[in-house]
Amino acid sequence: MLRKPVVILIALVLLSTTAWAKEQEELPAAEDQHLTFDVDMRAGAGASYKMTGGYADWGLGMDLLLLFRITPLGTGHSIMPEIGYSANIHAKDVTDHYFVAGLGYGYNSKWFVAGIIPSLVVGSTQGFNHARNDGLGFRTTVFAEIPRIVGIQVHHQIVVFGGEMVNEFCFSASLNLGLVLVVMMAMGG
């Protein structure tokens, strides 16, 4: 029962390191190429803590994000644009939906990627009285991941809904769905 997930995880690690090594061997001379580009489709879920006025609550935070890494050849330092969708579900039927777009900075090495991404957050919340409120705010995300496989992230966001400021903290684990799908298709499953 546990065998297939373990085989998939091992395949992901081997595929990511083999692909990275192959990319490094196939890179053109520095005068022919100055930037490298990577894309990750990260899905994450974790604990979310929301505070506003007299209300504070734990909930579930979920993200589906596209992270682009633009890296000058040979430096390891990256510009990281990110776009995506984020949702938070809390007690008392409070649900938040957000569009997230940001531009951050990070560092890539053979085994590790880390970054910080400030983002614009636009979305809506539906709360206690089932009234919908639209909001605008900012989020800062700090993340680390084993390249192209699994990662962790922490973000803090402040969103204003109908004149009320909402603070939210979220800690989550993420998985690169694009690579998972490629490995599953290659394994025939």
Average pLDDT rounded to a whole number, residues 23-36: 57
Predicted confidence band of residue 63 (pLDDT cuts 50, 70, 90)? very high
- Which CATH fold would you assign to the domain 32-177? Porin (2.40.160)
3-state SS, residue 155: strand
pLDDT attached to residue 21: 47
- Cβ–Cβ < 8 Å for 187, 8: yes
**Tens-digit pLDDT profile for residues 93-126:** 778 899 999 999 998 877 788 999 999 999 988 8
pLDDT attached to residue 140: 96
pLDDT attached to residue 38: 77
Nearest to 25 by CA among 122, 90, 138, 110: 110
Q: Give the C-alpha separation, 123 to 166, whole Å.
A: 12
Global pTM reads 0.76
DSSP assignment letter at 180: H
pLDDT attached to residue 7: 58
Domain ranges within the chain, ordered by starting residue:
32-177
Average pLDDT rounded to a whole number, residues 46-75: 86
DSSP assignment letter at 110: S
